[in-house]
């Protein structure tokens, strides 16, 4: 409920002009702040009161000329959520700040419920965007492990094949050397046998 002085009222030779200030609310978690825009007013020209019936009364008047005065009156019922004993006011650069501390502070869960859920972004074709990096599944991990095992087995088989082929080559070298020695011995034996045969035939012809 608001009571306003009548426009153009005359009192003790003064002519009062009604002024309607603009008001804005700043809502926060533990306190709400009422901002009243009062350009041209000074701190001593403004009064802030809280009545026993839980009504915030803001009034003020200032002189415009010899007989002309500007005045305003705002009466704002206080919500049951506010603590009237803790209400405070501060005037700075043409703005009156009236803080209303709360008796019941809403939980964060209630504030989150009041907030609108974020809208999911979509691509130009209307399809939801895909994740930049997909998390590997258990099947992918198993396949990767199997691939590592098979690669290790392949490397071991190649190393074993190389070692085995080198061993065969090392074993064939002494065998070739033995064959060469046997061949030389056989040639020597055949030569000696042929020499004896020739010598025996020569002696027989002399007899």
Indicate whether 31 and 75 sit together in one domain: yes
Cα distance between residue 21 and residue 18, in whole Å: 10
At 164 the pLDDT is: 46
Of all residues in the chain, the percent with pLDDT exceeding 70 is 56
Indicate whether 18 and 97 sit together in one domain: yes
CB distance 19 to 36 below 8 Å: no
Indicate whether 92 and 165 sit together in one domain: no
3-state secondary structure (DSSP) of residue 117? coil
At 172 the pLDDT is: 56
3-state secondary structure (DSSP) of residue 180? helix
Looking at the domain assignment, is residue 134 inside a domain?
no
Q: Which helix (H) or strand (E) holds 148?
A: helix 138-206
Cα distance between residue 57 and residue 78, in whole Å: 10
Query: pLDDT of the chain along its 207 residues, tens only?
Result: 444 444 455 666 889 999 999 999 999 999 999 999 999 999 999 999 999 999 999 999 999 998 999 999 999 999 999 999 999 999 999 999 999 999 976 665 555 665 555 444 444 444 555 555 555 565 666 666 566 556 656 655 555 455 545 544 555 556 777 778 788 888 888 878 777 777 666 666 655
Indicate whether 19 and 71 sit together in one domain: yes
In Å, how far are 9, 18, 88, 172 from 61, measured between CA atoms? Answer: 13, 9, 20, 122
Looking at the domain assignment, is residue 127 inside a domain?
no
Looking at the domain assignment, is residue 194 inside a domain?
no
Q: Which of 46, 28, 31 is nearest to 96 (CA)?
A: 46
What is the tally of structural domains in the chain?
2
Six-digit token string for 37: 């825009």
Looking at the domain assignment, is residue 136 inside a domain?
no
Cα distance between residue 83 and residue 103, in whole Å: 6
Looking at the domain assignment, is residue 93 inside a domain?
yes
Q: Which of 60, 67, 101 is nearest to 84 (CA)?
A: 101
Indicate whether 94 and 47 sit together in one domain: yes
End-to-end CA, the chain: 170
Residue-number span of the structural domain to which 160 is assigned: 141-172
What's 70's domain CATH number? 2.60.40.790
Cα distance between residue 157 and residue 173, in whole Å: 25
Looking at the domain assignment, is residue 83 inside a domain?
yes
Average pLDDT, the chain: 76
* Strand boundaries in 2-63, DSSP class E: 9-11, 14-18, 22-27, 31-37, 46-50, 55-63
pTM for this structure?
A: 0.47
Indicate whether 74 and 26 sit together in one domain: yes
At 128 the pLDDT is: 53
At 64 the pLDDT is: 93
Burial class (CB in 10 A: 0-12, 13-18, 19+), 102: middle
At 32 the pLDDT is: 96
At 147 the pLDDT is: 64
124 backbone dihedrals φ, ψ, rounded to 5°: -65, -30
At 162 the pLDDT is: 55
Looking at the domain assignment, is residue 33 inside a domain?
yes
Looking at the domain assignment, is residue 20 inside a domain?
yes
What are the pLDDT digits (tens) for 115-157? Answer: 555 444 444 444 555 555 555 565 666 666 566 556 656 655 5
């Amino acid at each position: 409920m608001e009571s306003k002085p009548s426009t153009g009222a005359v009192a003790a030779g003064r002519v009062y002009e009604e002024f309607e200030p603009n008001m804005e609310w700043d809502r926060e978690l533990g306190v709400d702040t009422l901002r009243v825009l009062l350009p041209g007013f000074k701190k001593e020209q403004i009064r802030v009161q809280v009545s026993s019936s839980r009504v915030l009364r803001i009034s003020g008047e200032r002189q415009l000329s010899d007989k002309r005065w500007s005045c305003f009156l705002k009466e704002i019922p206080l919500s049951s959520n506010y603590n009237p004993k803790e209400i405070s006011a501060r005037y700075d650069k043409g703005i009156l700040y009236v803080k209303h501390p709360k008796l019941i502070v809403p939980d964060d869960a209630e504030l989150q419920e009041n907030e609108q859920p974020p809208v999911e972004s979509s691509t130009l074709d209307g399809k939801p965007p895909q994740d930049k990096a997909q998390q590997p599944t258990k099947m992918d991990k198993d396949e990767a492990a199997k691939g590592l095992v098979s690669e290790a087995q392949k490397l071991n088989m190649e190393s074993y094949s190389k070692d085995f082929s080198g061993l065969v080559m090392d074993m064939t070298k002494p065998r070739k050397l033995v064959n060469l020695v046997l061949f030389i011995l056989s040639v020597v034996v055949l030569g000696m046998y042929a020499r004896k045969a020739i010598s025996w035939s020569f002696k027989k012809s002399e007899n």
